[in-house]
Structure 1
Amino acid sequence: MNYSNLFKIALRAIFSNKMRSFLTALGIIIGVASVITMLAIGQGSKRSIQANISEMGSNMIMISPGADMRGGVRQDPSAMQTLRIADYEAISTECSYVKAVSPTVNSSGQWIYGNNNTQSTIYGVNRDYLEIRQLSVDDGEMFTDADIKASAKVCVLGQTVVGYLFPDGADPVGKVVRFGSIPFRVVGVLKKKGYNSMGMDQDNLVLAPYTTVMKRILAQTYLSGINCSAITEGVTEKATAEITTLLRRNHKLKEATDQTEADADDFNIRSQEELSSMMNSTTNMLTILLGCVAGISLVVGGIGIMNIMYVSVTERTREIGLRMSVGARGIDILNQFLIEAILLSVTGGVIGVLLGVGASYAVKAFAHWPIYIELWSIIMSFAVCTFTGVFFGWYPAKKAAQLDPIEAIRYE
């Protein structure tokens, strides 16, 4: 018996029991749609987090003071004074894998303009800070190197601060605002960035020359931190190692010898690459979990196919006996029921793919969750449902092929 006849027989058997065939395929439809939708949500979340990290500066390196032990008590890192201007200058001139570096000092307080006020943080930085943090000036200009050298009382406002201090929509550039009792002339306004993946408002800040903040606000000579940007994301580890070696040398920290242990670093270095790797591993695990949970419905759908095929073999036992008595071989009966199972699973797979894609976009439209449909998720889901049809349809088909023709004809 050729395959075209087997295909026609299988189609006839499916259409003769339309409702049963639909309910059988429904398990596959739901399984495939669930897998595609869950993977789309997982991949969308991953890409959204990666985009937010990139907006913060994917190749950014953050150096902060390290905690120290004094009299057996571990000190607060923020109170340590291990980072100096000399460290920033050394990184800027000596590190070959670093393309931008900025010292950072900060202080939180009240900003006032006329009758309006708001709480925000002033960050003392240099011009490289814009490149490191992926910021840009939307109106006016960034303060100059001459402003830094002169410790000028100038600042660049974030959009959130502008909204609170100038609710009437007035142009803040050229206006004088106060941080506590200290006046600052506004020279620019930053372009809006919105909230990051951690829910932090990236526009609620004010930038000023680091020399101004150190001398006129904090009255300190040490730095709160140093922000750097590696040449590319791929050399972040090399840049980190280079900075570590330089700072250990500048801070005169002893290396390990045969008799003594190495001095512990009095600074901490963190990179966005570490955060990105951590978030990627978390979202990958979440995506796998979602896919596995959705994949269970595919297995359930496969069991449904096996169950229905068993029923079909039992119902058509006499038909199988008649076919065998007129010359049909066991392999023909096996192929007939296998084709039937594969048709059910493939049809369910096609409908499931369409439903899964539609459900993914519905989630995006109504729940406003980020989604991203990978081509491999569609191919994998379709391949799995086809394999499911073959795997769960094979045993009932094999049972049908092994029936004794005489016993099958006598079956009631």
Structure 2
Amino acid sequence: MNFTNNYEVALNGIKANKMRSSLTMLGIIIGVAAVIIMISVGQGASKRISDQISSMGSNLLMIYSGSSGGPMRGASGSVNSLTLDDAEAIGELDQVANSVPELSTSGNVQYGNQTWTSTVDGTTPEMQEIKQWTLSSGSYFSDEDVTNVSMVAVIGSTVAENLFSSGTDPVGQSITINKLTFKVVGVLNSKGAAMMGQDQDDIIYVPITTVQLRMVGSKYVRTINVQAASENSMSYVQSNVEELLRQRHRISDTEEDDFNVRNLTSVLEAMETATGTMTMLLASVAAVSLLVGGIGIMNIMLVSVTERTREIGLRMAVGATESNILNQFLVESLVLCLAGGVLGILTGVVGAKLISKFAGWNTYITMYSILLSAGFSAVIGVFFGYYPAKKAAGLDPIEALRFEK
């Protein structure tokens, strides 16, 4: 008996007990769907973290004023140690593509009768390259604006939406920030939320010298963003930066650094490892339901063998071999699992999309999760179907013909 005949016999057996077969497949359907949904949730979280860190810049080191427990960007810290000269010196190091200082403050922004509170970030034109910002209109300010302490501003889309009415082009308009008048020279395209949930579009970029001299009154900067020439040179650049700053700040070997260097690539790797572990944990929990479904398959197949004992004896009496009987019941088990697997895949894909839509969770469905679930369901069909099939193949034909239900 070839595979086609075994398939036809298996299909007829399933059709003869539709309700029982449907309930048997339900365990596989739920298990496969659960695995796909759990993996998609984990992959979605990982992708979101990766995208958010990437949106901060590629191959990026961030140097903060203060020691390793120092203040984050925009926060008020007790130690001011970084200067524009430090940023320029770092920019001359080998394998450094860009070195961009930042100094942020809070700003009360007004245009006409509209007011808004936003972050005002003093920086240099190279920030656009590091952050990979694109402009919806206008242009970024220039190095000349930094030198001349110009009163110009590039605003994020959130600021533009809250200050200007629909149809009004902000470029060329004058706004006041903390009672100082600035000319809007550009509007940034939206980038969405940052890694910690901050709105990256609720920001105003101005020349760093303007923030230092006219808004804050400080010669220091809070952060220096250092972009390495390549990902492979990150460790090399970080080591050189730390050595340079210790020399410039006259820090001895026994003293603690007055700066803190953070490698975003390392942060990304750590977070991806954490989300990968979470994904595997979720998938493992979901896989338990697949095992339960496999046990259900074994149970039903044992019942089927008992019910069809006379049929098995008759097949053997007319020439069916043990291999034929074994293959027949294995194929039936495999058909049940694969049918449940296909329905489970469809349910899982739809379920993941519904979770993304209604729960607001990021889900990311990969071919890996689909193939894994389909392969797992096939393995379960063979594994849990083998014992009942072996039992059927081992029946004595004479005893089987004598069997009565």
Tell me if 1:60 matches 2:76: no
User: Which deviates further from its counterpart, 17-26 or 366-375?
Assistant: 366-375
State whether residues 342 and 389 of structure 1, in contact with CA within 8 Å, keep that contact through their aligned partners in structure 2.
yes
Equivalences for residues 157-236 of structure 1 within 5 A: 157-167=155-165, 169-236=167-234
String of CA shifts for 1:148-187, please: whole Å, max 9, x gaps.
1122222222232233333465433333332223332333
Is the aligned partner of 1:78 residue 2:77? yes
Equivalent residue in structure 1 for 2:381, among 389, 394, 397: 389
The aligned amino acid for 1:286 is M
Aligned to 2:335: 343
Query: What is the Cα deviation at residue 349 of structure 1?
Result: 2.0
- 1:148 lines up with 2:151 in the alignment: no
Matched residue, 1:127: 125
TM-score (norm 1): 0.87
For 1:7-59, what per-residue CA distance to the aligned partner results, in whole angstroms no more than 9, with x for missing partners? Answer: 44333322222222222222222222322233233323322332232222132
Of residues 98, 107, 110, the one that matches 1:109 is 107
Q: What CA distance in whole angstroms lies between the structure 2 residues aligned with 1:294 and 1:96?
A: 50
Counterpart among 295, 307, 312 of residue 315 in structure 1: 307
Q: Deviation at 1:362?
A: 4.2
1:198-253 alpha-carbon deviations (Å, 9 max, x no partner): 32111222212111211222222222111122223343333222211221222222
Change (3 A) 1:100 1:329: same
Q: Retained in 2: the 8 A contact 1:84–1:222?
A: yes
Percent of aligned pairs sharing the same letter: 46
Q: 1:176/1:357 Cα in 2 relative to 1: closer, same or farther (>3 Å)?
A: closer
Q: Which moved more, 1:138-147 or 1:363-372?
A: 363-372
- Are the equivalent residues in 2 in contact too, given 1:65–1:77 (CA < 8 A)? no
In 2, the alpha carbon distance for the partners of 1:77 and 1:369 equals 33
- The 3-state SS of whatever aligns with 2:226 is strand
Count, aligned residues: 399
Q: Unmatched 5+ residue regions in structure 1?
A: 70-75, 256-261
2:324 paired with 1:332: yes
Offset, 1:311:
0.6
**Equivalent residue, structure 2, for 1:26:** 26
Letter aligned with residue 173 of structure 1: V
Asked if structure 1 preserves the Cα contact closer than 8 Å seen for 2:68 and 2:260, the reply is no
Q: Quote the Cα distance in structure 2 between the aligned partners of 1:88 and 1:250.
A: 11
Secondary structure, in 3 states, of the residue corresponding to 1:78? coil
**1:66/1:77 contact within 8 Å kept:** no
Matches within 5 A, 1:277-296: 277-296=269-288
Deviates more, 1:178-187 or 1:143-152: 178-187
Secondary structure, aligned partner of 1:79: coil
Q: Structure 2 vs 1, CA of residues 59 and 331 (structure 1 numbering), >3 Å: closer, same or farther?
A: same
Cα distance change, pair 408–245 in 1 and its aligned pair in 2 (3 A)? same
DSSP-derived class of the 2:82 partner: coil
Output the amino acid matched with 1:12. N
Name stretches of at least 5 consecutive residues in structure 2 with no aligned partner: 70-74
Q: Is the 8 A contact 2:68 2:259 kept in 1?
A: no
Deviations 1:291-314 (A, max 9, x none): 223212211111111000111111
**Separation in structure 1 between the aligned mates of residue 2 and residue 164 of structure 2, nearest angstrom:** 82
Q: Quick check: 2:66–2:80 contact (8 Å CA) kept in 1? A: no
Amino acid at match of 1:83: L
Post-superposition shift, 1:91?
0.5
Residue 41 of structure 2 is aligned to residue 50 of structure 1 = no
The AA in structure 1 aligned to 2:32 is: V
- Map of 1:240 onto structure 2: 238
Give the equivalent residue in structure 1 for 2:90: 91
Distance 1:296 1:101, change over 3 A: same
CA distance in 2, matches of 1:7, 1:136: 58
CA contact (8 A) 1:60 1:133 kept: no
Between stretches 123-132 and 281-290, larger displacement belongs to 281-290
Go from structure 1 to structure 2 and tell me whether the alpha carbon gap of 1:107 and 1:411 turns closer, same or farther (over 3 Å shift). same
SS of the residue 1:294 aligns to: helix
In 2: Cα distance, 1:367 partner to 1:214 partner: 44
Distance in 2 of aligned mates of 1:191 and 1:11: 57
Question: Is residue 270 of structure 1 aligned with residue 270 of structure 2?
Answer: no
Matched to 2:169, the amino acid is D
Corresponding residue for residue 348 of structure 2? 356
